[in-house]
Chain A
Amino acid sequence: MSATSGTIWQVAARRGATYAAFFCLLFWVGFPVYYMLITSFMDPPELGVKPPHWIPQEPTIENYREVIIGKTGQRGDYGTTTEFSRMMPALLNSTFVSVSVVLLNLLIGGMAAYAFSRFDFRFSRFVYLGVLMTRVLPALSLIVPLFIILRKLKLINTLWALIFTYTIFILPLTIWILREYFDTLARDIEEMALIDGATRWQAFRIVVAPLAVPGLIAVGVMSFMEAWSEFFFALTLTNSLTYPPLLMSFRNLHQVNWNALAAATTIGVLPPVIVAFVFQRYLVRGLSEGAVKG
């Protein structure tokens, strides 16, 4: 839509409205995040002064230091606790779980998507619809039997419980997106390679895989973020092994140090936020393909 039409006043009014709306967006998204950030750089006494300091008067990185070394409450009576010593192991666990989920998901989902895309086999349509249907099942509602199954397998309170459940719950989405991707990819070139005597594997490796990289990245990034953020299964199937439920247990401490909590939160969201910003383009594409077409 062009802003050049109309009188100068109309153009000015339109500009003004655009920037007013832009300010709304900045405020809506930025305000909660900004407040958490400044809290993480304040000493506890500075939080809660009236009127509030919108810029920390004496910015400090002490909160971050305390969270990283795992000891809070070194500055007087603000709830001494060693609970934060679980933070770094939890971040490591989260990393291990997320990376495993991404790799497993790409491998298993990629194989299945390729099969659906390239082969006509018995019941393929039926199985495909079946896989897609599982996407509308709420994970929340399967927790009870899942808990019991994993308990019998002695996997409760292990990282494997999380890796398996996350991988499988994200599989249908992966299969959908990657199948769409494979469907649109250079079928002819692949066929020619086959005619020229390449094996399926060679054709896949040389022709399909390199072209599918953007789709693989989109799916990989989405499963990383899902695995890093998941809370409900981590809460019920483990004893705060990963970052999200641990954050919840910090919040439930009797005397919670909100400044240290802000620092812990900020550290823990860096991986998904950085990944989201770096892979923004792939992510938006994957998201809209996965959501709209799937």
Chain B
Amino acid sequence: MAAVQARKTSAQERKHWDRKWIPYVLLAPAIITIVVVILSPLVTTIYYSFSNIDLIRDRTTFIGFDNYVELFSSRLFWKAVEINLKFAAIVVVVPTLMGLFFALLLVEEFVGRGIGRTLLILPWALPWIVIGLLWNWVVHSQFGALNGLLYSLGLIEKYIPFMADENWALFFTAMASAWRQTSFSAILLLAALQTIPEDLYDAAKVDGAGMRARFRFITIAWIRPTLTIVLLYNIVLGFLQFDAVWVMTQGGPGDATMLISVLLYRYSFINFDLGMGAAVSNVLGLITMGVGLIFVRLTYRSQSTYS
């Protein structure tokens, strides 16, 4: 606090005239562009979702809640919600557990740890579209790596057309997302694990805490904030994933991998029903905003506790 008080004296006082406008000038480009490109579309999306948009005649008519009524009464939407929930479940559970597993591994000392840590970055560094393609190669029915592996090991006689099966298709599109999120989760969790002071463990040992107790009351307790953040990120991704699914299946086979985001794309850019597209956008936005708000609250609180 003293530093802050001191800051407001002499030099600052003397340059009082420049303090007034400098911050506004510095902020202007960021704020103006954010308002134009993020906030104004946000307001517009809300308006569009209550409108019927005729692109050909360039006419927008207000129709109240009709889009939402149509959306919520359509079987397609609820199917997308159901599919998306299953998808998100895998994208939350698998990366969080595997990420924790790999992070715990890479905090140990062993030959090869450096290679492991570097390799861990790789999935995270790849574009989603490439991750979709990679997993296409893994699950392909004619030359897929997984089929090849199972065949080489003698576990199957014939290659399995995974992506023609609705359940496998959903499972593997989710696994592609889980693959990348595992790296992301492990990187964050590893960074958190590295900050645990070693003497906490020593003290606990002296007090007679067993390995399980030490894991639960020191390791997990220490990384809990990071674990929460990782969970929230994975949940949000579970609802916003589009790229990797689009390149793998485009929502198929049938509608088996039609996430809400895929539905949004179909309404907006295949049917060109922008009003309905906007309605789906808002539903999706509300879901992720809900998660996001929890996230901001949690981080904001943890920030104020250590400052």
Contact = CB atoms under 8 A, between A and B. Distances in A.
Contact of B26 (A33, A115, A287): A115
Contact of A291 (B39, B233, B247): B233
A136 B236 CA distance: 9
B288 A136 contact: yes
A25 interface: yes
A252 B233 CA distance: 30
Nearest to B261: A140
A136 B26 contact: no
A136 B22 contact: no
B48 A140 contact: no
B26 A112 contact: yes
Contact of A280 (B7, B10, B37, B121): B121
A172 interface: yes
Contact of A52 (B143, B188, B242): B143
A141 B281 contact: yes
A52 B148 contact: yes
A232 B282 contact: no
B63 interface: no
A255 interface: no
B171 interface: no
Interface string B231-245: 001001000101100
Size class of the A contact interface (CB-based, 8 Å)? 35 or more
Contacts of A108: 29-30, 33
B187 A19 contact: no
A141 B282 contact: yes
B201 interface: yes
B41 interface: yes
A132 interface: yes
Size class of the B contact interface (CB-based, 8 Å)? 35 or more
Interface stretch (B82-90, B101-109, B161-169): B101-109
Contacts of A143: 264, 268, 281
B31 interface: yes
B296 interface: yes
Contact of B34 (A31, A35, A172, A251): A172
B281 A144 contact: yes
Interface in A1-22: 1, 3, 15, 18-19, 21-22
B19 A294 contact: no
Contact of B284 (A138, A268, A294): A138
Nearest to A250: B133
Contact of A135 (B122, B242, B292): B292
Interface stretch (A60-68, A83-91, A187-195): A187-195
A229 B128 contact: yes
B252 interface: no
B105 A195 contact: no
Contact of A112 (B30, B128, B233): B30
The 7 closest A-B pairs by CB, nearest first: A136-B292, A229-B127, A52-B148, A276-B125, A145-B44, A48-B143, A141-B281
Interface of A: 1, 3, 15, 18-19, 21-22, 25-26, 28-33, 35-36, 39, 47-48, 50-52, 54, 107-109, 111-112, 114-116, 118-119, 121, 124, 127, 131-138, 140-149, 164-165, 167-169, 171-172, 175, 187-188, 191, 194-195, 200, 225, 228-232, 236, 244-245, 247-248, 251, 258, 261-262, 265, 268-269, 272-273, 275-277, 280, 283-285, 287-288, 291-294
6 contacts: A3-B108, A22-B105, A187-B3, A265-B134, A272-B125, A291-B229
Given A143-B268, A187-B7, A292-B226, 15 more contacts: A15-B110, A35-B138, A39-B143, A52-B148, A115-B23, A131-B34, A132-B296, A136-B295, A137-B38, A146-B41, A149-B44, A165-B37, A200-B15, A276-B121, A276-B124
